[in-house]
Amino acid sequence: MMKLFPLFILFLQVLSFTHLGLAQPNQCGQPEDKARTLKVFHVSSPCSPLKPKNKSWEEGVIQTMIEDKARLQYLTSLVARKSVAPLAWARQLIQSPTYIVRVKVGTPPQSFLMALDTSSDAAWLPCSGCVGCGSTLFAPQKSTTFKDIACDAPQCHQVTNPTCTLNLCTFNQTYGGYTLGAALSQDTIALAQDPIPNYVFGCIQKSTGASVPPQGLLGLGRGPYSLLSQTQSLYRSTFSYCLPSFRSSKFSGSLRLGPVAQPKKMHYTRLLMNPRRPSLYYVNLLGIKVGSKILNIPPEVLAFNPTNGAGTVIDSGTVYTRLAQPAYNAVRDEIRHRMGKAKMTSLGGFDTCYSDPIKVPSITFMFEGMNTTLAPENFLLHSTATSIACLAMSASPDNPNSVLNVIANMQQQNHRVFFDIPNNRIGIARENCT
C-alpha cells in the first residue's frame, strides 16, 4: 500500500486535471454507432457511465495496478502451460475493463457497455440473479430470442468440465481464489446496426473473489467463441480500432468491423500465431530505437518462440507496455543517459521519472516490416501537480519458461490498429481519435 502511494498521487493529479470542467452533461451525448463502427470509450473518460463515481481516485488506481499485474500473470501463465483448454473460462474475467463499447443483447435489446479485449476468446454477461455481479444485469427471461445450451449440444464441448444442471451446459470454475459460475447461452447481439443471431456467450451466475467487468466482456481473440469466430461471414476476421486517450472527454474512439472502410494505405507487420497461446495476436518485434539509436538488445530477448510461447503480443487490455527485463533495461538506460544529470525519481511502479518539462527523444518499436514511432503521450505519464513525468513502461514479470513482451493500450492510444487476419498482418498508423 505504502509503495503505491506516490503512484496514486500521480494518477490523482493526472485524472483530476483532465476532469476539470470537461464533463459537461451536454458534451456527454452518446452518439448512435454508425454502420459497422462502434464508438469506443475509455472507462475513465469524464463521460464514461462506468467511471468511478467517487471523486477520490485512489481505489480505482490501486485496482488498476493490481489488475494490470493480474492480467500479465494471466497472459504469461497461459503461455507457459503445456496444453491450452479451448476456453480458459475463469481466467479471462479477472481484469478490469479499460475500453468499452455498447452492445445490445436480446429481443427487445438490452444495452451493455462491454469491455473490449483482444486477448479473450469469449463474450461474458452478468445475468439476472447473479451473485457477486454489479447492478446492470442481462435478463434472459425478457428476451424472446434467448436460448439455453444443452449439455449434449456441440457448443458445450468447448467447455472444460461442464456441470450438467438439468441438462443445461453450466460450469463452476475456480482459479486462484476466484470462482466463476456461468451457463453457456445464446442470443441475438447487435453491434452497431448488425444483428448477429445465436451468439454464444457465458451468462454469469456467480462471481466470487474478484470483480468481473461490470457490464460484461467482448472477446476479440482468435479462439472458437470469440467475436471473430462467430461472425466469420459478416466481418471476415477483420477489425480495427482507435483507442482514445484516457484524457479524452468524449466517446471518440472507434471499433470498425469487417473489411469495408479499413485503411487502404498503412504499414504492416506479419501477424504470427503461437501454438502455445493461439488466441493472442503475436508480432515479431525485432528491436527498439530511442531517437535514432538502435538499442543493444540480445535478439533472443525479443524472439518469437513457438516452443515455449515467448514473443511479443499486441493487447488491448493491459495498460502499460511490459518488456522482458533486458529490453526494458536498455530503453530505461538510454532514456536515463539522455537525461544526463537531471535528477531522477521513481513513482510507484515506474522507476524513471523526471521533473517536467522533460525533453526525451521518441521511442520506436521496430517490428518486422514496420517501424512504429511513439509520440511522447504514448510513453510519458505526466503528473500536473508534482510536475513529474515517468517512462510509462516496465519490465515483464520474470518467467523462466517464456517472457512475454506486451504492447499495451497506452502505447496504442491515438493509433489505428488494424487486425487483418485473412492476410496475416497487423497495420499500425497514427490517427488522432483523442
Q: Which of 24, 27, 30, 56 binds ligand NAG (CB under 6 A)?
A: 56
- Least spacing, CB of residue 279 vs ligand NAG, in Å: 26
Q: Could you give the angle at which helices 5-19 and 58-80 cross, rounded to 10 degrees?
A: 110
| # of chain residues touching ligand NAG (CB under 6 A) | 12
**For ligand NAG, which stretch binds (CB under 6 A), given 78-86, 103-111, 184-192, 365-373?**
365-373
The C-alpha cell that represents 237 in the structure block: 476476421
- Nearer residue to ligand NAG within complex by CB, 283 or 370: 370
Q: Residue 163 interacts with ligand NAG (CB under 6 A)?
A: yes
Nearest Cα to Cα of residue 191 among 86, 295, 286, 116: 116
Using the rule CB under 6 A, which residue among 137, 159, 366, 403 binds ligand NAG? 366
Does residue 193 belong to the site contacting ligand NAG (CB under 6 A)? no
Sheet of strand 388-391: strand arrangement: 344-347, 350-355, 388-391, 380-383
Q: Under the criterion CB under 6 A, does residue 371 sit at the interface with ligand NAG? A: yes
Q: Going along 280-414, which residue ranges are E strands?
A: 282-283, 285-290, 293-294, 311-314, 321-323, 344-347, 350-355, 363-367, 370-374, 380-383, 388-391, 393-395, 404-407
Q: Is 206 in the site for ligand NAG (CB under 6 A)?
A: yes
Provide the minimum distance between the beta carbon of 287 and ligand NAG in the complex, in angstroms, as a whole number. 8
Tell me which of 174, 369, 387, 424 binds ligand NAG, using CB under 6 A: 369
**Among candidate residues 3, 100, 23, 19, the one with its CA nearest the CA of residue 56:** 19
Could you identify the residue written with the cell 500479465? 72
Tell me: does residue 54 bind ligand NAG (CB under 6 A).
Answer: yes
Which among 33, 121, 315, 420 is annotated as catalytic?
A: 315
**Judged by CB under 6 A, which of 46, 60, 140, 181 binds ligand NAG?**
181
Helix (H, G, I), strand (E, B) or coil at 379: coil
Decide if 61 contacts 283 (C-beta within 8 A): no
The minimum distance between CB 332 and ligand NAG, in angstroms, equals 20
Residue type, 12: L
Q: Give yes or no: 351 in active site.
A: no
Please identify, using beta-carbon distances, which residue of 112 and 367 lies nearer to ligand NAG.
367
- If DSSP codes are grouped into helix, strand and coil, which group holds residue 77? helix
129 near ligand NAG, rule: CB under 6 A: no
Strands 415-420 and 404-407: unpaired
Task: Write down the catalytic residue from 68, 117, 187, 420.
Answer: 117
Residue type, 126: P
Determine the interface stretch with ligand NAG among 52-60, 330-338, 376-384, 394-402 (rule: CB under 6 A): 52-60
For 137-296, where are the alpha helices, taking DSSP H only? 227-230, 232-235
Tell me: does residue 253 bind ligand NAG (CB under 6 A).
no
**Minimum CB–partner distance for residue 263 and ligand NAG (Å):** 17
How far apart (Å, rounded) are the C-alpha atoms in residues 391 and 382? 9
The reply on whether position 167 binds ligand NAG by CB under 6 A is: no
Is residue 187 annotated as part of the catalytic site, yes or no? no
All three cell numbers of 26, joined, read 451536454
Catalytic residues: 117, 315
> What are the residues binding ligand NAG (CB under 6 A)?
53-54, 56, 163, 172, 181, 206, 294, 366, 369-371
